Homo-oligomer: A and B are copies of this chain.
Amino acid sequence: MSTFQLITQSECARAGAFNTPHGTIQTPVFMPVGTQATVKALSPEEVEATGAQIILGNTYHLYLRPGTEIIGRFGGLHRFMHWEHPILTDSGGFQVFSLAKLRKLTEAGYQFQSHIDGSAHMLSPEKSIEVQIALNSDIIMCLDQCLEHPATREQAIDALELTTRWARRCKTFWETHTERQNSLFGIVQGGMFADLRERSAEAIVAIDFPGYAIGGLSVGEPKELMMEMAAHTLPLLPADRPRYIMGVGTPEDLVELVGLGADMFDCVMPTRNARNGQLFTEQGTINICNARFREDAGPVDPACDCYTCRHYSLAYLRHLYTAREILAYRLNTIHNVHYYVNLVKGMREAILAGRFADYKNAFYAKRGDASPAF
Least CB distance from A294 to B in Å reads: 7
A311 CB within 8 Å of chain B: yes
* A236 at interface by CB-CB < 8 Å: no
Contact assessment for B43 and A73 in the assembled complex, using a CB-CB cutoff below 8 Å: no
Bound Cα distance from A329 to B311, whole angstroms: 22
* B294 with A82: CB separation less than 8 A: no
* Docked complex: A56-103 residues within 8 A CB-CB of B: 65-66, 70, 73-74, 80-82
Q: Are B319 and A40 in contact (CB under 8 A)?
A: no
Cross-interface CB contact of A65 among B74, B297, B316, B323, cutoff 8 Å: B323
**B-contact bits for A301-321, CB 8 A (1 contact / 0 none):** 000000000011101101110
A residues 11-55 in Cβ contact with B at 8 Å: 36-38, 40-43
Is A335 located at the chain interface by the 8 A CB criterion? no
- Please tell me if the beta carbons of A43 and B323 are within 8 angstroms of each other in the complex: no
A315 touches B41 (CB 8 A): no
Q: A325-B36, A329-B326 are in contact. Are A319 and B42 (CB under 8 A)?
A: no
The reply to whether A330 and B43 contact each other, CB–CB distance below 8 Å, is: yes
Q: Which residues of B contact A37 (CB under 8 A)?
A: 316, 319-320
Task: Verify A82–B312 contact, CB threshold 8 A.
Answer: yes
Instruction: Tell yes or no: A286 within 8 A of B by CB.
Output: no
Which residues of B sit under 8 angstroms from A323, Cβ to Cβ?
A: 36, 65
Interface residue? A228 (CB, 8 A): no
Q: How far is the CA of A42 from the CA of B37 in the complex (A)?
A: 20
Which residues of chain B are near A80, meaning CB under 8 Å? 313, 315-316
Asked if residues A42 and B327 are in contact (CB atoms below 8 Å), the reply is yes
CB <8 Å contact, B327 and A38:
yes
Q: Bound complex: CA of A129 vs CA of B70, how far in Å?
A: 54
CB-CB under 8 A from A329, the residues of chain B are 326
The number of chain A residues touching the other chain, given as a range, is 20 to 34
Give the shortest distance, in Å, between A199 (CB) and chain B (any CB). Answer: 40
With A311-B82, A315-B70 in contact, do A41 and B295 touch (Cβ < 8 Å)?
no
**A325: contacting residue among B40, B322, B325, B327, CB under 8 A:** B40
Partner of A66, one of B43, B74, B315, B327: B315
In the bound complex, CA of A357 to CA of B70 (Å): 43
Contact of A41 among B313, B316, B322, B326 (CB under 8 A): B326
Contact A326–B81 (Cβ < 8 Å): no
Of B41, B295, B325, B326, the residue contacting A73 (CB under 8 A) is: B295
Report the minimal beta-carbon distance from A48 to chain B, rounded to whole angstroms: 13
Q: A40, B326: Cβ atoms under 8 Å?
A: yes
List of B residues within 8 angstroms of A65 by Cβ: 319, 322-323
Q: Which 10 A-B residue pairings sit nearest by Cβ, starting from the closest? A: A66-B319, A41-B326, A82-B311, A36-B323, A38-B327, A38-B325, A326-B329, A70-B295, A80-B316, A36-B325
| 6 pairs, CB–CB < 8 Å, chain A vs chain B | A36-B323, A38-B320, A38-B327, A40-B326, A41-B327, A74-B297
10 further A-B pairs in the complex, CB-CB below 8 A; given A66-B315, A70-B295: A36-B323, A37-B316, A40-B327, A41-B327, A66-B294, A70-B294, A73-B297, A73-B315, A80-B313, A330-B330
